[in-house]
Amino acid sequence: MVTDEENGSIREQITANEEARLLPRGWEMRGVGKSNRVAFYRSDGSKADKNGTFDHPVLGGLPRPWELRKKGRGQFIYYNTETKESITRGPRKVSRRSRTPPPGAVIVRSSGNGRLRRLETSLRPLDDKYERVKCLDAGDGTVGGMNDGIYVVRKKLTGQLFVEKNYNGAVPYLIPLIRSEINMMKELIHNSIIHYVASFVQDSPFRATVYMEYCDRGTLRDLILTYKDRKKSHAPDFVPESFVWHAFVGLADALGFLATGRSCVSLSLEAAKNNDAATAGSWVPVVHRDIKPDNVFLRSRDTPGSTKPFYVVLSDFGLAQRESDARRGLQGLVGSVEYHAPELAFDPYPDAARENLQAGPHTGKSDVWALAYPLRSLKAKGRAAKRPVLEITEKAVYSEYLERSITWGAARDPADRPDGWELVTAIKEQRDLWVADANWKAQVELHVAQLSISGPRIDSPNSTEVTQPEAIKMDPYSAEGELINIHNHFHQGQYQEVIDFDTSAFSAENALPARVLQLRARIALGQAEDVVADVQGESEPDLVAVGALAQQALGQSEEAVKTIEELAASSADNVTVQVAGGTVLQTAGKSEEALALLSQHSGSLDAVALIAQIHLQQNRTDLAVKEVAAARRWAQDSLLVNLAESWVGLRVGGDKYQQAFYVFEELAQAPSTSSIVSLVSQAVCELHLGRVEEAQGALEQAIQKQPDYTEAIANLLVLTVVIGKDPSELKESLRKTAPEHQYLVDLEEKSALFDKAAAKFTAKVST
C-alpha cells in the first residue's frame, strides 16, 4: 500500500489526461484497435519500439488489469478489463510537491524537476520598467542596515504598484546577506510570505535591487500602536479576536512552510496532523531570525467592499538562513534583541566582553517564540510594560483558546515549545473550537466599525488612517486564496488543468465556485452535452446558469435565453448568473440585456472582463477603455485586468500592441501558464506589430498542440492571405472544424457583394 507521504512529496493519483501529457520529447501516442488502447511510439524515426509499447516511457506500465484508453479528442480514461470500470483518476500514483503560488504571485517558470521557481534575476537594471512615486526610506540607515533606498514604484506597462528595495553593497560582508535575501524571496512561495516580483544584481561594482508586492496597509506595529494610542480598556476598543486568529494562523502557516516546504492551511486537520517537519524530505528548513511587528505587513484585499481581513505577510528575509547552516555555541547578535527567545539570552547576564553575543543559534522554535510575542502585543495593544510578559488577563475580551495557543508558542523552554508545523496544526484546531463555542458566538460574529492603521496611503498622500471593511470573517485564505490558481488556469485558457485540478481540500464555501469553473472548462473543451446531463435537475442558480451556457453551446439558444431571463428575475445578484447569463444573452444578440445583467455585479472581475468584451464587439472601444481603467484602480495586480487591458489594447492600436504583446508573450512562453489561447493571442500581437515570421511560428505551435483549434486555424489563414500564399488548404480545414465561423460567414457575404457589384460592370460581348 502506498503511503500518502513519501520523502516530503504528496503521493497523488494522477489523472489519465495528465499521464497522456507527460510524454518526453521524441515520443508520441496513438489509440490502437477497437478499444482505442493507448500505445506509445518513438517519433524520431528510430527502429526501436517500432510496434509501440503500452508502457508509458516515463511512468512505466500500469498495474493490471488497468489500461489507458483514448475516449475522444484530448480525453483519456483508465479502463479495468476485469470489472469494465472506467475512471479518470488513478490507479497510478505519483509524487508531487504541494507547492502553489500565492494570490498575486508573479508568473513562475517550471524547473526540470517539476518544482516551481521564480523568473531569473536580471543582469541589467530594471528602472526603465518602473517609475518611482513615493520614497519610503531615503537609504540613510534608519530603516534596515542594508537598505540603500526603498520606494513605492509603478510598473510602466501595467500601472501596478510595487515596492523597490535597493541594497547598499559598500560593506563587503553584507553582500552575501543581500544575495541570500534575494534568493530566499525567489524561492519561498507562500500566501503569508512577501511576494517577489523581480530583481537585478550587478557584480562589479556591486548593485542590487529587488521588486516585491506593495502592502498598502502598513505593518503590524502600526496596528498595535494605533490601538495603544486610544488609551481605553473597554471591549469594543480591543483588536477583534477574529483578526488576531486570522493573523496568527496565517503567520504560523508561514513558519510551518519555512520548516517543511508545505502549507498546512489548505489541508484537513487530519491530514495536517499526519505530517510534520520530519516528513519534509529534501526540504532544508529556513529560519527567519528577525520576526517582529515591523516585519509583518498588511495588504488590502483586491475586491472593493470585501468583508475579509487584510492579508498578513511576513517580510524582510535579510537575516534568514538555512537551519543547517547555523553554528553551534556562541553567536554574534542577529536580529532584534527584544524579540529573542529565552534560549538566545545569557543567564546570568554576561560580562562586557560578551555583550554583543547570543547564547546559541536561532532555530525554527525561536522563530515561533518571536511570533507569539507580537501576537500577544496585538491583543494587549502593545502595553507590555503594564503586566508580566505574556500574561494574558483580558478574559472578558479574548478566549481561553487564544490564550492557550499563544502561551504554548511562547513557552520558555524550547523543549516545551512547538515547531512551526506543530503550531499551525494546533492553532487551527483551537480556532475551530473557538468558532464552535457558543460562549464566544458574539466575538466570532463581531462586526468591526473601524480597524484603523496609522500610515500614509499612496493614493491619498494626506491621509494617515485607513479603514478595514465592516465585517471580519474567519477563513484567512478563503475565496481569494483557495480559488486563485484554478481561476487563473481558466482565464489563461488552460481548461484541462481546470478540469484536473484537485479541489478536495477546498473549504465548503468554495466547492460550488470550483465546480462552476470546472463545468465551464468542460464546455470550452466541447463537452457541453455532458455538462447539461451533469446539472440536470439541479436547483442551485449557479448550476442552472451553467446549464444554460451549455445549452447555448449546443445551439439551443431559445431555451438558454429563456432560462437566463428567469434567473435574472430571481437571482440577478448571483455572479455566476451574471457572467454565464451575460455570455448567453450576448451570443443571442441581446447586448443591452447582457449589459443590464452584468452591471449589477459587486466587484466581479469576470463581469468586468465580459462587459469589456461586449463593448469591443459593439465597436465601443471608448466604453471598454473606461470599464477596464476603472477596474485597474481597485484590482491593480489581477491577471484578468491585465488580460482585459490587452484585449482593449489590440483594438486601440499604436503602442498598445506592444504592451499587449508583453502580457500574452509572458503567459505563452512560461511552461506553467502556456496554453493554445495565449499562443494565439501572442501571434495576433506579433501580426499587428508586423512580425510575420514570429506570428506564424506561434500559430503553428498552437496547431501542433491541437490541430483542430479553430482560432489558430483562422488566424493562420489570415496570416497566409497577408503574406500572399494560397489559403485554400487552411480555408478547407476551417470549414471542416467550424463551418459557421465568422471569418467564413464574412468571406461568403463579401464575395457575394463583390460578385453582385462586378456583374454591373461586366462588358457586353457582341455576337
Shared domain check, 230 and 162: no
Residue 381's pLDDT is: 54
User: Which backbone phi and psi does 112 adopt, to 5 degrees?
Assistant: -65, -30
Distance CA 716, CA 239 (A): 60
Phi, psi dihedrals of residue 335, rounded to the nearest 5°: 90, -170
Measured between alpha carbons, how far is 662 from 668 in angstroms, rounded to an integer?
10
Please compute the mean of the pLDDT values over residues 62-88 and round it to a whole number: 83
Q: Which of 327, 194, 319 is nearest to 257 (CA)?
A: 194
In the DSSP assignment, the letter for residue 309 is P
Per-residue model confidence (pLDDT) at position 296: 92
Confidence at residue 177, expressed as pLDDT on a 0 to 100 scale = 82
Q: Is residue 614 part of a domain?
A: no
Alpha helices (H) in 536-590, listed in sequence order: 541-553, 557-570, 575-587
Compute CA distances 577 → 501, 525, 581, 587, 719, whole Å. Answer: 23, 21, 5, 15, 38
Q: CA nearest 294: which of 246, 360, 339, 341?
A: 339
Query: Which cell is 194 given?
Result: 512577501
> Does 459 lie in the same domain as 375?
yes
Residue 254 has pLDDT above 80, yes or no: yes
If residue 15 lies in a helix (H) or strand (E), which one and from where to where? strand 9-15
The answer to which of 106-115, 452-461, 562-571 has the lowest mean pLDDT is: 106-115
pLDDT of 622 over the 80 cut: yes
Q: What is the mean pLDDT of residues 546-550?
A: 96
Compute the distance between CA of residue 494 and CA of residue 694 in angstroms, rounded to an integer.
22
Question: 549 lies in a domain?
Answer: no
Cβ pair 465, 452 in contact under 8 A: yes
User: Does 238 map to a domain?
Assistant: yes
Greatest distance between any 2 Cα atoms in the chain: 124
3-state secondary structure of 50: coil
Average pLDDT, the chain: 77
pLDDT at residue 518 in the model: 95
Are 383 and 444 found together in one domain? yes
Write the CATH number for 139: 3.30.200.20
pLDDT in tens, 365-387: 989 999 988 788 777 654 443 44
Domain boundary among 40, 72, 96: 96
The residue-averaged pLDDT of 466-492 equals 53
Q: Does the pLDDT of residue 308 top 70, yes or no?
A: no
Between 470 and 743, whose confidence is greater?
743
Q: Is 171 in the same domain as 235?
A: no
| 3-class DSSP assignment, residue 55 | coil
In a domain, 593, yes or no: no
Asked if 151 and 208 sit in the same domain, the reply is yes
Counting beta carbons within 10 angstroms of the beta carbon of residue 260, is it exposed (0 to 12), middle (13 to 18) or buried (19 or more)? buried
CA distance 462 to 212: 24
Distance CA 37, CA 81 (A): 11
Whether residue 676 sits in one domain with residue 758? yes
| Amino acid found at 464 | T
Q: Who has greater pLDDT, 187 or 388?
A: 187
What CATH number is given to the structural domain containing 731?
1.25.40.10
Averaged over 194-207, what is the pLDDT?
87
Is the CB of residue 176 less than 8 Å from the CB of residue 169?
Answer: no
Cα 160 to the center of its chain, rounded Å: 16
C-alpha cell of residue 175? 553582500
pLDDT of residue 455: 41
Distance CA(681)–CA(661), nearest Å, equals: 8
236 and 190 together in one domain:
no
Average pLDDT over residues 172-185: 84
Distance from the first to the final alpha carbon of the chain = 92
The partner residues of 37 in beta bridges, in order of sequence, read 32, 69
CB atoms inside a 10 Å sphere around CB 102: 21
- Dump pLDDT digits (tens) for 261-304: 877 664 444 544 555 544 445 678 888 888 998 999 988 765 44
Final residue in a domain of this structure, among 62, 96, 130: 96
Count Cβ atoms within 10 A of the Cβ of residue 125 and give its class: 0-12 exposed, 13-18 middle, 19 or more buried.
exposed
- Kindly state whether residues 239 and 296 are assigned to the same domain: yes
pLDDT of residue 51: 65
Judge whether 578 lies within some domain.
Answer: no
Q: Which residues pair with 296 in a beta bridge?
A: 314
- Tens digit of each residue's pLDDT (9 = 90 or more) over 122-165: 888 888 888 898 888 887 655 555 678 899 998 776 667 889 99
AA letter at 564: I
Give 235's pLDDT tier (boundaries 50, 70, 90).
very low
What would the pLDDT profile of 391-420 be if each residue is shown by its tens digit? 444 445 788 899 899 989 888 888 899 988
And the C-alpha cell for 586?
Answer: 450576448
In a domain, 737, yes or no: yes
Q: What is the pTM of this model?
A: 0.50
What DSSP element (H or E) covers 422? helix 420-436
Is the pLDDT reported for residue 764 higher than 90? no
Q: Which residue pairs, CB below 8 angstroms and at least 24 apart, start in 337-345? A: 338/292, 339/290, 339/291, 339/292, 339/370, 339/373, 339/374, 340/366, 340/370, 341/365, 341/366, 341/369, 341/370, 341/414, 342/369, 342/412, 342/413, 343/414
- Is there a contact between 435 and 394 (Cβ–Cβ < 8 Å)? no
Look at residue 472 in the predicted model and tell me its pLDDT: 29
Task: Give pLDDT, residue 475.
Answer: 30
Q: Is the pLDDT of residue 751 over 60?
A: yes
Percent of the chain clearing pLDDT 70 (strictly above):
74
User: Does residue 628 have a pLDDT over 70?
Assistant: yes
- Residues 651-685 have pLDDT tens digits of 998 878 888 888 888 788 766 778 889 889 999 99
Q: Residue 746: is its pLDDT beyond 80?
A: yes
Same domain, 663 and 726: yes
- Give the CA-trace dihedral at 485, 193, 159, 613, to 10 degrees: 10
Residue whose grid cell is 478536495: 504
Boundary-marking domain end, from 96, 118, 140: 96
Query: Domain for residue 623, yes or no?
Result: no
User: Are residues 290 and 436 both part of a single domain?
Assistant: yes
**Residue 555 CB coordination number (10 Å):** 11
413-465 per-position pLDDT tens digit: 888 999 888 898 888 888 888 888 888 877 776 544 335 444 434 433 333 33
Is 701:712 a contact under the CB 8 Å cutoff?
A: no
pLDDT at 434: 87
CA distance 166 to 156: 19
Name the residue among 28, 60, 61, 33 with its Cα closest to residue 46: 28
Question: Can you read off the three cell numbers belonging to residue 112?
Answer: 526540470
- pLDDT exceeds 80 at position 765: no
- Residue 273's SS3 state is helix
What is the number of domains present in the chain? Answer: 4
Task: Tell me the sheet residues that pair with 130.
Answer: 155
Distance CA 647, CA 621 (A): 10
Q: Are 434 and 245 in contact (CB under 8 A)?
A: yes
CB-based contact 96:13 (threshold 8 Å): no
**How would residue 750 be classed by pLDDT, with cut points 50, 70 and 90?**
confident
Q: Does one domain contain both 273 and 203?
A: no
Task: Name every residue whose Cβ is closer than 8 Å to that of residue 482 and which is 6 or more positions away in sequence.
Answer: 266, 506, 507, 510
Q: Are residues 173 and 237 in the same domain?
A: no
Domain containing residue 168: 109-213
Radius of gyration of the chain (CA): 29
**Any domain includes 383:** yes
The CATH number of residue 245's host domain is: 1.10.510.10
∠ CA 451-457-463 to the nearest 5 degrees?
75
